[in-house]
Amino acid sequence: MGNGSIDLILEGPPELIDAMEIGCWLGPIDVWVETIVRAPTEMQREDAPL
């Protein structure tokens, strides 16, 4: 982080995460979305211990 940037960690139903992603891309004109990286959480990983 730096230079007025943010990191956002978001968890929830895939549909709501999709909506948030679209909202970020279509957000205010003065906001630049450079990248969006999606990765499973520990609970979603198949190799995560129960």
CA torsion 26-29-35-39 (nearest 10°) is -40
Q: Are 17 and 38 spatial neighbours (Cβ–Cβ below 8 Å)? A: yes
- Domain edges within the chain: 12-38
Instruction: Show Cβ contacts of residue 41 under 8 Å, excluding neighbours closer than 6 positions.
Output: 11
pLDDT at 1: 47
**Can you give the pLDDT of all 50 residues of the chain as single tens digits?**
457 778 888 888 889 988 988 888 888 888 788 888 888 776 655 555 55
pLDDT at 32: 81
pTM score, whole prediction = 0.57
User: What Å distances lie between residue 49 and 40, 44, 45, 46, CA to CA?
Assistant: 14, 11, 9, 8
